[in-house]
């Protein structure tokens, strides 16, 4: 639900899963055949996992981080993992890069630039749930365009500030 001021978007678990399913169908409808999925952790883990299952393709994971301060609301320095985690082999062939959103676009652009420098990757496309109007990068596939660039409140964010004692209190109710 987008607030009246256009500055906040609140997403329920059901809406979140529906967006992932719509993204999977959009990639499928394009007819593009890919060999592997690379998701960006943490935001791309859930969409990457679902799409890996739906398309029955191996899932690789690359850790990135650029949100640190103020409970993840202030973008800081971009950190990219040196290595990509995957069950076997190397990232190669046609790769679908999956994340949750193109916010500023800086992370996606940096990862795409790095991946395009890898000779084993023949073709690379990207897919996200949301693209903000301020993004400098537009993925090949996305479900929603958000021209007002609202802050997206995703359903799992409740765990950002929840510690085991708070979880215990929640479950004892």
- For residues 10 and 66, is the Cβ–Cβ distance under 8 A? no
What share of the chain has pLDDT > 70, as a percent?
88
pLDDT computed for residue 156 by the predictor: 93
Residue 67, exposed/middle/buried by CB under 10 A (0-12, 13-18, 19+)? middle
pLDDT computed for residue 16 by the predictor: 97
Cα separation values, 140 from 61, 73, 74, 128, 143, Å:
19, 26, 26, 9, 10
Domains, the chain, with CATH or none = 12-146 (3.40.50.2020)
Q: How confident is the model at residue 163 (pLDDT cuts 50, 70, 90)?
A: very high
pLDDT computed for residue 69 by the predictor: 47
* Position with higher pLDDT, 64 vs 157: 157
**Given the DSSP bridges, would you call strands 36-41 and 8-10 parallel, antiparallel or unpaired?**
unpaired
pLDDT computed for residue 83 by the predictor: 74
Please state the rounded mean pLDDT for residues 83-87: 82
* Cα–Cα distance for residue pair 130/147, rounded to 1 Å: 10
């Amino acid at each position: 639900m987008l607030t009246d001021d256009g500055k906040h978007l609140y997403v329920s678990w059901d809406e979140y899963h529906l967006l992932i399913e719509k993204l999977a169908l959009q990639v499928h409808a394009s007819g593009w055949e890919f060999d592997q999925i690379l998701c960006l952790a943490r935001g791309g883990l859930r969409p990457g996992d679902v799409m890996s299952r739906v398309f029955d393709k191996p899932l690789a994971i690359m850790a990135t981080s650029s949100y640190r301060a103020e409970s993840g609301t202030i973008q800081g320095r971009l950190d990219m993992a040196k290595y990509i985690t995957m069950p076997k082999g190397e990232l190669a062939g046609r790769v679908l890069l999956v994340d949750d959103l193109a916010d500023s676009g800086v992370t996606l652009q940096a990862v795409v630039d790095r991946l395009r420098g890898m000779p084993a990757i023949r073709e690379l496309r990207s897919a996200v749930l949301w693209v903000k109007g301020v993004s400098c990068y537009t993925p090949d596939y996305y479900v929603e365009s958000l021209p007002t660039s609202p802050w997206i409140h995703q359903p799992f964010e409740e765990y950002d500030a929840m510690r085991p004692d708070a979880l215990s209190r929640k479950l004892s109710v």
